Copies of this chain bind each other. A is one copy, B any other.
């Protein structure tokens, strides 16, 4: 088929299916969660084991729906594109197919933006509003039906945690598979026999991962008289067995596919799997009140709310070192494994393609357990509604996993961006890269990543790159700040409404009057819709503007800066928020004076600040770093066309 214009014709259709399937997954997940909450509560009355079973298997619906729909979407489009894209050179054809498919991620990104950012604002406006008037002013317990905002709060948990988390990870899952396929098509461009296998490998690993996740899900069971510790152990067993089996199968897959570097590529998968598990454990250490960091935050409540905030922020910031070092090691290790540990030649042309493919494979490896990790995570809110304390830790580790996988996915997307630039140049009729120093030139069809870096001077001495890094870092903070203030504003409205109802509707606090729950739901909904507009527009506009003004080096700087800052900021916010939440729980369990004490009041302030940290702004950053990459990828043609003017 003919390519006309800057963008290929499939993007609008692909956009719609990506968005549709992501929304469908969210819809199923929320439906299941709604039904499951009551059933979990009933089952938990019988035994903890039964409660766990119902909650966890309901969460598994979400996990399996996400991975299932994602693989369905990817497979269907592959078949369609394989049929319609006509191209004489087989090596070139797969590159065309994979780079086109990559733009599908855009639909999933947009849907994730709505679910994660909008959902995050929705849920926390309700939660903060409900807590401030209900718990602090009126002195009624959490989730008390006398509180008019309590329905909005519970709805919000499902919107934000279930649908938001699902859409976020759907995007990472699709993004990592598609980016790795594109990188594989490029790395093996001169080896037609292996190219198709390199494109299919990430999909095969993902598919095997689905089946092994189902196996893991059935392993999550425990004795009738299990305590909390045993329940956690049961969950961990399920995830770890799945991960171990995927690792083993990976060796078989790459060997059977006939990859020369089958051993190295398998270790790339393992580095991703391990990174996911280590990040989860690190998150648990810094956010669970079984360990000293969170207990110290609770203790600092002795000197009031200010020291709780200071100590929670300090701990959250310190906690960033575990995920960052883990991801850094995973990047280096998966790169080196894929390139046969040739440290000396780390950056030579051919190795770079293989190494980046290895990093993509690591991202796919990390996300291959998504069926079960999303189950442990989506089950959080279900269990939270029914068995409060149980879901807290898994929610925090799930967030760590989401951030880590977003970072690795964004890295693979960064490499894919160059692929799109290459395709964009070819589409515009360019054939040769002429280097600035005039020394030599390279045919675009055969040019590697290093050639493009050289041609566009995407180096750290290029002021456009440095300016891009500054703006990218700023975007992470700006996006966060806008969503924080959005929660503040929407919560303020909720507070006023709840106060009004307490004042005007007679007998609410005595339990004889009925609060107007619907009004509170409406406030959250409208607030979320209005408040997500500006941050969303910025996330979409800035990569486009940067591309037009600063070209490819500016965009690469923007993405790298946004990725670096956004990743660390997201970890900090998620962990601070998680730690504050559990510090409060620690006090509520009777420590340091228990409920109602001054220490408790101080930790409630920490928890309230932590709400938008961990459930709105922090998770929104996952979306930001992936969305900016995705926009850049879809707009790559425009950037190239503009720079050629």
Contacts and interface: CB of A to CB of B under 8 A. Distances in A.
Contact of A309 (B309, B317, B476): B309
Nearest to A329: B467
Given A307-B492, A332-B463, A318 B440 contact: no
B314 A481 contact: yes
Contacts of A303: 132, 491-492, 495
A179 interface: no
Contact of A460 (B320, B328, B487, B557): B557
A233 interface: no
A315 B467 contact: no
A466 interface: yes
Contacts of A567: 470, 473
Nearest to A495: B303
Contact of A349 (B300, B327, B437): B437
A44 interface: no
Interface in A160-177: none
Contacts of A319: 481
Interface stretch (A75-83, A96-104, A189-197, A351-359): A351-359
A327 B465 CA distance: 14
A423 B352 CA distance: 29
B314 A482 contact: yes
A488 B304 contact: no
A383 interface: no
A72 interface: no
Contacts of A348: 436-437
Interface stretch (A26-34, A207-215, A446-454): A446-454
Contacts of A568: 470, 473-474, 476-477, 565
Contact of A488 (B314, B328, B491): B314
A351 B488 CA distance: 48
A487 B310 contact: yes
A324 interface: yes
A480 B346 CA distance: 33
B459 A450 contact: yes
Contacts of A460: 414, 453, 458-460, 465, 556-557, 560
B564 A484 contact: no
A478 interface: yes
A209 B221 CA distance: 74
Contacts of A243: none
A513 B582 CA distance: 43
Given A306-B605, A352-B461, A477 B317 contact: yes
Interface in A588-622: 604-605, 608-609, 612
Contacts of A315: 481, 485
Interface in A267-285: none
A307 B254 CA distance: 53
A463 B335 contact: yes
A449 B461 contact: yes
12 contacts: A128-B307, A300-B492, A305-B306, A306-B604, A310-B485, A317-B484, A320-B478, A324-B470, A335-B463, A346-B464, A459-B459, A469-B560
* Smallest CB-CB A-B distances: 6 pairs: A317-B481, A314-B484, A314-B485, A306-B608, A453-B459, A473-B564
